[in-house]
């Protein structure tokens, strides 16, 4: 049943991303646009204590959802609102508010209602809305269309523009006779805030996924998976975030084939962004070994050891030996291990692996000197030394 629930959840995440892929801005003067903004306007007017119209930065509608990011300006003349004359004067003066409004609305049977509302946000508030309502990042991004002009309460008065928020890129150039906004400290740029939000999501993912490994609480796994997903959406160039997403999927890969596929995809994206990410290569190799893609797994394991030779420990070398033998590539493996030992003669786990592969290719006599070196090396691991002694005894008896 757990496997079925995981598959249903993963499919739901995919469909949620697809359902809002075609979000679009309603054209100026359209009834839909007017309905959405007319729903938002009274709330803003009540907070600011005056009639307003909007300079739109983003207005997207799809699937019964609407997102608005706008700058409220004076309805009478389109001039900038003097926030010093509002109840938010102190916040504006201290630089903890912007001059924007962000809102998430939903169609409630032909009537729009406000689901989330943020007046004067100083951060990217929709990051939390993505997580809370499982909406794709693309739904909250501007389309840059013709709708970035101010929308009046009625369709007839002339359009107006207003100065852009110091925390958002301008949608139109401000006019010369516009009243200036109250001075306030510069806020972080939107891209910087997105990067910070991505890192925060990444840390949440690691924390909750590690907790899941101890508790096996599927709610924690879901929270960790969603946090990793948001991190990659907010900053898709960070290998760490893709590796965290792969880690999330890999935790349940044994119970669901779709999770295994998505884990491989995430680890591959981590590697494409940082070819030196040995952790992603090792994790991807484990998944490939599990589905018997031995040659692909060996490519990643060999690359990881080339980047970080200290990874050539007993469990990794044992996996490589099994893969070389299962894929009938023992000759390739023997050649690789021999070359590795030429550069690092103290790597006794690799020496033991070379002996195993030489025996597999019918060269048992060449294995005995290798096995004795491993068995007699005081720096070799106890496991490697014991196995070397056992192999030497077994193969000598087999050769008699």
Q: Which of 82, 49, 45, 54 is nearest to 178 (CA)?
A: 82
Q: Does position 178 have pLDDT exceeding 90, yes or no?
A: no
Residue 202's CB is within 10 A of a number of other CB atoms, namely 23
Name the percent of the chain lying above pLDDT 90. 60
- Contact (Cβ atoms closer than 8 angstroms) between residue 64 and residue 96: no
For 351, how many CA atoms within 13 A lie in the half-sphere containing its CB? 24
What are the beta bridge partners of residue 358?
none
Residue 357's CB is within 10 A of a number of other CB atoms, namely 24
Q: Does position 202 have pLDDT exceeding 60, yes or no?
A: yes
Among the listed ranges 148-152, 266-270, 321-325, which one has the minimum average pLDDT value?
Answer: 148-152
| DSSP symbol at 379 | T
Distance CA 1, CA 219 (A): 15
Residue 350's CB is within 10 A of a number of other CB atoms, namely 27
Q: Does position 46 have pLDDT exceeding 70, yes or no?
A: yes
Query: pLDDT tens digits, residue range 297-350?
Result: 999 999 999 999 999 999 999 999 999 999 999 999 999 999 999 999 999 999
User: What confidence category does residue 126 fall into, taking pLDDT thresholds of 50, 70 and 90?
Assistant: confident
- Contact (Cβ atoms closer than 8 angstroms) between residue 160 and residue 55: yes
What does each C-alpha distance from 44 to 56, 268, 270 come to in angstroms?
14, 46, 43
Q: Please state, rounded to an integer, the average pLDDT across all residues of the chain.
A: 83
Best CATH choice for the domain 312-400 from the list 1.10.3470, 1.25.40, 1.20.58, 3.30.1460: 1.25.40
* Helices of type H across the chain: 2-19, 31-48, 89-93, 126-133, 190-215, 218-234, 239-250, 257-273, 278-290, 294-307, 314-326, 330-343, 348-360, 367-376, 382-399
pLDDT at 7: 58
> Average of pLDDT values for 224-236?
90
Among the listed ranges 11-15, 54-58, 107-111, 298-302, which one has the minimum average pLDDT value?
Answer: 11-15
Domain ranges, ordered by start, for the chain: 2-184, 188-276, 312-400
User: What confidence category does residue 4 fall into, taking pLDDT thresholds of 50, 70 and 90?
Assistant: low
Under CATH, which architecture does the 188-276 domain have? Answer: Alpha Horseshoe (1.25)
User: What confidence category does residue 177 fall into, taking pLDDT thresholds of 50, 70 and 90?
Assistant: very low
Q: Which of 125, 134, 82 is nearest to 102 (CA)?
A: 125
Distance CA 7, CA 9 (A): 5
Whether 312-400 and 188-276 are alike in CATH topology: the answer is yes
Q: Which of 395, 387, 310, 385 is nearest to 360 (CA)?
A: 395
> Average of pLDDT values for 224-234?
90
Q: Which of 145, 188, 152 is nearest to 58 (CA)?
A: 145
> Average of pLDDT values for 100-122?
92
Query: pLDDT tens digits, residue range 66-78?
Result: 999 999 999 999 9
pTM, rounded to two decimals? 0.59
What does each C-alpha distance from 317 to 215, 301, 320 come to in angstroms?
31, 9, 5
pLDDT at 5: 57
Q: Does position 172 have pLDDT exceeding 70, yes or no?
A: no
């Amino acid at each position: 049943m757990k496997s079925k629930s995981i598959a249903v959840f993963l499919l739901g995440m995919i469909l949620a991303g697809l359902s809002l892929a075609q979000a679009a801005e309603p054209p100026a003067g359209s009834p839909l646009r007017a309905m959405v903004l007319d729903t938002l306007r009274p709330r803003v007017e009540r907070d600011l204590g005056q009639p307003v119209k909007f300079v739109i930065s983003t207005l997207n509608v799809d699937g019964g959802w609407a997102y608005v990011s706008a700058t409220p300006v004076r309805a009478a003349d389109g001039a900038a609102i003097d926030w010093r004359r509002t109840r938010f004067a102190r916040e504006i003066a201290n630089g903890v508010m912007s001059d924007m409004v962000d809102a998430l609305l939903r169609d409630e049977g032909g009537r729009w209602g406000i689901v989330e509302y943020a007046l004067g946000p100083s951060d990217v508030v929709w990051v939390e809305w993505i997580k809370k309502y499982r909406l794709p990042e693309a739904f909250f991004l501007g389309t840059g269309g013709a709708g970035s002009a101010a929308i009046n309460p009625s369709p007839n008065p002339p359009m107006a523009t207003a100065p852009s928020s110091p925390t958002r890129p301008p949608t139109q150039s401000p006019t010369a006779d516009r009243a200036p906004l109250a001075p306030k400290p510069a806020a972080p740029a939107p891209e910087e805030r997105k990067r910070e939000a991505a890192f925060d999501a990444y840390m949440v993912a690691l924390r909750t996924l590690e907790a899941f490994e101890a508790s096996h609480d599927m709610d924690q796994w879901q929270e960790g998976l969603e946090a990793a997903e948001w991190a990659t959406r907010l900053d898709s160039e960070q290998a760490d975030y893709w590796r965290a997403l792969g880690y999330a999927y890999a935790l349940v890969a044994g119970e669901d084939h779709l999770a295994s596929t998505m884990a491989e995809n995430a680890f591959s994206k981590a590697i494409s962004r940082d070819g030196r990410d040995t952790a992603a290569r090792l994790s991807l190799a484990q998944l490939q070994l599990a589905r018997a893609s031995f040659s692909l797994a060996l490519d990643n394991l060999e690359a990881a050891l080339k980047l970080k030779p200290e990874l050539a420990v007993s469990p990794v070398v044992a996996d490589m030996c099994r893969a070389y033998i299962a894929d009938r590539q023992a000759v390739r493996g023997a050649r690789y291990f021999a070359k590795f030992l030429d550069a690092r003669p103290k790597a006794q786990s690799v020496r033991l692996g070379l002996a195993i592969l030489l025996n597999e290719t019918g060269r048992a006599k060449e294995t005995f000197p290798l096995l004795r070196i491993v068995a007699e090396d005081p720096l070799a691991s106890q496991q490697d030394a014991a196995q070397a002694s056992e192999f030497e005894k077994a193969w000598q008896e087999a050769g008699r």
